[in-house]
C-alpha cells in the first residue's frame, strides 16, 4: 500500500535515527476501507526533544502529552510519543501521562480497535490489538474494558455512534451496553466537543442511524432533550404513517449533507407534540408548529454554542418551510424570497422535497415544483425585492420637499409595493413620478419641487 510522501519522509527520518514510527488511527482505518484520508497521526518511541532536533519546522502543539506538529511542504502532521495515560479524574482527560517505549502500551490506551491499527513507511500493517478483524466484521469495539474507556473520556460514547453512522458499522454488544450504562457521564464533556461529534453524525451517509442510536443509548436526553417527546408520538394524520421522530429522521436522511440543512431537518417539526389539535374527524393538526419549532431550534443551537449565522439560517429554513401549502402570486413569492434569503433558496426547497418524501402522501410535490419554478423565474430575472434594491432612497425623497419623519418610510414602502408588482418601474425617474403622484393625491403636498 503506497503511503503519502510527506508521511514516508517523517517515518523514514525517525527510522533512520533508530526510532520506531508508524502511521496510526483514522488514516490507516480509512486506507483499509478505501475512504478519503483527512488527518494523519504518527506515533513513535522518539521523545518530543528528539523530534524537535530531527525536523526543521516544528510546533510544540502538546508537548506535555508528547505531541509535536511537524511541518512538511507547508502541511502539518502531529507526531506523538508512545504513552500510557494515567488516572482520569474528570471523564475527559488523564491527570498526567507517562511516556512509553512499547507500541502496544500506547495502543491499548486508545478508544476502539479499528483506530489502533498501525502502518509502517512501506505500507505494512502492524495490528497487535486485532483491529483489522473488526474492520472486516464492520464492528466498533472498545479496546479492553469499555467501562474503562468511557470512564477515561465520556466523549468516546458519541464517537462510537459517529463511527457507526459514518462507516455503516455496528457497535459490539458489550461496548453498546457500556454506553447505555454510562450515558449520564456525557454531562462532563464540554458543549464544544459534543457539537463537533454531533455535526459529524449529521454529515454522515445515514445520519438517522446515528440519531436513533443516540436516542436508544440514552445519550440524546442529555444532548437534545427537546427531541425526546417526539419519539413514538403519533401524528394522527392521514398524511403521516410515522411518529414525529421517525419522520424527522426520514427527512434528514433525504437532505443534502450540509450542517445547517440537516439541523433544520432535525428540528423542523420538533414542537409538533405540543401543537397537536384533533378535529371532529379525528385528524391531527399542528397549527403554527413551524414558528414554534423555529424558535425552539434557536434555543437549542444557542445552548450547543453554534454560531449566530448557523442559528439564523436554521431559523429561516424552519420558519418558512411549509411551501407546499402556498398558492400565491408573484408579489407573495417575492416576499418569500426576501424572508428566506436568496442564498437559502436551494436549501429550503431541498428541505421541502425531503419533507414530502417523509410522508405517506406525496401529492404536495406538484405544488412545490410550481412554487420552485415561480421562485427561480423571479430570481433569474433579478427583480428588486427590497428597499436596498430600489433606484431611490430617502435622500431623493427629501429633495421633493419632505421633512424628516415617518412619511419617508411610508412612502418608500409604497414605492416598494409598486416595484414588487411592476419591476420595470424600478428607475429613479419613474419612482420620482410615483412619489409625486402619491404626495399630491394622498398627502396633499401641492407642486413638489423638481429634482
Q: What pLDDT is attached to residue 325?
A: 53
Q: What pLDDT is attached to residue 392?
A: 82
What is the pTM assigned to this prediction? 0.84
> Using N-to-C axis directions, what is the helix angle for 345-357 and 259-267, rounded to 10°?
40
Q: Is 300 helix (H, G, I), strand (E, B) or coil?
A: helix
Residue 227's nearest CA partner among 274, 260, 288 is 274
Cell triple for 85: 495515560
Residue 356's nearest CA partner among 322, 318, 320, 317 is 322
Distance, in Å, from the CA atom of 146 to the CA atom of 162, rounded to the nearest integer, reads 16
Q: What pLDDT is attached to residue 240?
A: 66
Q: Is 366 exposed, middle or buried (0-12, 13-18, 19+ CB in 10 A)?
A: exposed
Distant-in-sequence, close-in-space partners of 349: CB < 8 Å, separation ≥ 6: 323, 368, 372, 375
Q: What pLDDT is attached to residue 451?
A: 45
Dihedral sign from CA coordinates of 210, 216, 219, 225: positive
Q: What pLDDT is attached to residue 222?
A: 97
Q: Is 127 helix (H, G, I), strand (E, B) or coil?
A: coil
How many of the other CB atoms lie within 10 Å of CB of 420?
22
The radius of gyration of the chain from alpha carbons, rounded to an integer in Å, stands at 29
Contact 208, 245 (CB under 8 A): no
78 pairs with which residues across the strands?
A: 41, 69
Residue 355's nearest CA partner among 433, 278, 244 is 244
Q: Which residue has the cell 453554534?
A: 306
Query: Measured over all CA atoms, what is the biggest interatomic distance in the chain, rounded to whole angstroms?
Result: 95
Distance, in Å, from the CA atom of 334 to the CA atom of 419, rounded to the nearest integer, reads 11
Q: What angle do CA 386, 387, 392 make, to 5 degrees?
A: 135
Give 96's Cβ-side CA count (13 Å radius): 2
Q: What pLDDT is attached to residue 127?
A: 95
Q: What pLDDT is attached to residue 158?
A: 98
Dihedral sign from CA coordinates of 308, 312, 313, 317: positive
pLDDT in tens, the chain (451 residues): 678 899 999 999 999 999 999 999 999 999 999 999 988 999 999 999 999 999 999 998 887 788 999 999 999 999 999 988 655 555 556 555 788 889 999 999 899 999 999 999 999 999 999 999 999 999 999 999 999 999 999 999 999 999 999 999 999 999 999 999 999 999 999 999 999 999 999 999 899 999 999 999 999 999 999 999 999 978 777 666 788 999 999 999 999 999 999 999 999 999 999 887 677 777 777 778 999 999 999 999 999 999 999 999 999 999 998 875 556 778 888 888 888 998 999 999 999 999 988 876 677 788 888 889 989 988 888 888 888 878 888 888 888 777 777 888 888 888 888 888 888 888 888 888 888 888 877 665 544 444 4
Amino acid at each position: 500500500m503506497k503511503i503519502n510522501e510527506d508521511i514516508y519522509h517523517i517515518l523514514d527520518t525517525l527510522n533512520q535515527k533508530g526510532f520506531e514510527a508508524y502511521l496510526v488511527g483514522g488514516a490507516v482505518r480509512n486506507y483499509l476501507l478505501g475512504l478519503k484520508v483527512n488527518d494523519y497521526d504518527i506515533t513513535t518511541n522518539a521523545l518530543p526533544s528528539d523530534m524537535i532536533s530531527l525536523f526543521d519546522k516544528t510546533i510544540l502543539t502538546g508537548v506535555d502529552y508528547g505531541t509535536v506538529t511537524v511541518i512538511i511542504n507547508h502541511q502539518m502532521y502531529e507526531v506523538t510519543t508512545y504513552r500510557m495515560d494515567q488516572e482520569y479524574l474528570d471523564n475527559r482527560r488523564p491527570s498526567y501521562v507517562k511516556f512509553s517505549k512499547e507500541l502496544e502500551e500506547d495502543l491499548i490506551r486508545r478508544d476502539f480497535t479499528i483506530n489502533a491499527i498501525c502502518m509502517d513507511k512501506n505500507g505494512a500493517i502492524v495490528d497487535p490489538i486485532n483491529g483489522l478483524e473488526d474492520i472486516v466484521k464492520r464492528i466498533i469495539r472498545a479496546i479492553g474494558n469499555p467501562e474503562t474507556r468511557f470512564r477515561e473520556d465520556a466523549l468516546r460514547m458519541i464517537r462510537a455512534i459517529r463511527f457507526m453512522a459514518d462507516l455503516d458499522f455496528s457497535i459490539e454488544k458489550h461496548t453498546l451496553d457500556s454506553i447505555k450504562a454510562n450515558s449520564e457521564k456525557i454531562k462532563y464533556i464540554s458543549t464544544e466537543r459534543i457539537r463537533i461529534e454531533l455535526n459529524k453524525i449529521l454529515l454522515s451517509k445515514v445520519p438517522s442511524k446515528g440519531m436513533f442510536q443516540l436516542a436508544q443509548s440514552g445519550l440524546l436526553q442529555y444532548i437534545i432533550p427537546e427531541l425526546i417527546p417526539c419519539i413514538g408520538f403519533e401524528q394522527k394524520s392521514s398524511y403521516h404513517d410515522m411518529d414525529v421522530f421517525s419522520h424527522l429522521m426520514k427527512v434528514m436522511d433525504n437532505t443534502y449533507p450540509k450542517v445547517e440543512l440537516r439541523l433544520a431537518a432535525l428540528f423542523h417539526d420538533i414542537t409538533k407534540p405540543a401543537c397537536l389539535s384533533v378535529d371532529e374527524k379525528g385528524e391531527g393538526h399542528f397549527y403554527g408548529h413551524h414558528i414554534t419549532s423555529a424558535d425552539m431550534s434557536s434555543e437549542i443551537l444557542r445552548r450547543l454554542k453554534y454560531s449566530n449565522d448557523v442559528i439564523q439560517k436554521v431559523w429561516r429554513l424552519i420558519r418558512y418551510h411549509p411551501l407546499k401549502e402556498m398558492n400565491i402570486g408573484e408579489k407573495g413569492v417575492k416576499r418569500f424570497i426576501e424572508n428566506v434569503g436568496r442564498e437559502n433558496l436551494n436549501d429550503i426547497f431541498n428541505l421541502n422535497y425531503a419533507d414530502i418524501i417523509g410522508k405517506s402522501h406525496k401529492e404536495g410535490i406538484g405544488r412545490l415544483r410550481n412554487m420552485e419554478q415561480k421562485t427561480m423565474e423571479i430570481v433569474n430575472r433579478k427583480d428588486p425585492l427590497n428597499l436596498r434594491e430600489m433606484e431611490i432612497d430617502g435622500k431623493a425623497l427629501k429633495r421633493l420637499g419632505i421633512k424628516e419623519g415617518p412619511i419617508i418610510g411610508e412612502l418608500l414602502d409604497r414605492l416598494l409595493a409598486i416595484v414588487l408588482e411592476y419591476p420595470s418601474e424600478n428607475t429613479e425617474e419613474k419612482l420620482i413620478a410615483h412619489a409625486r403622484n402619491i404626495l399630491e393625491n394622498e398627502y396633499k403636498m401641492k407642486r413638489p419641487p423638481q429634482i
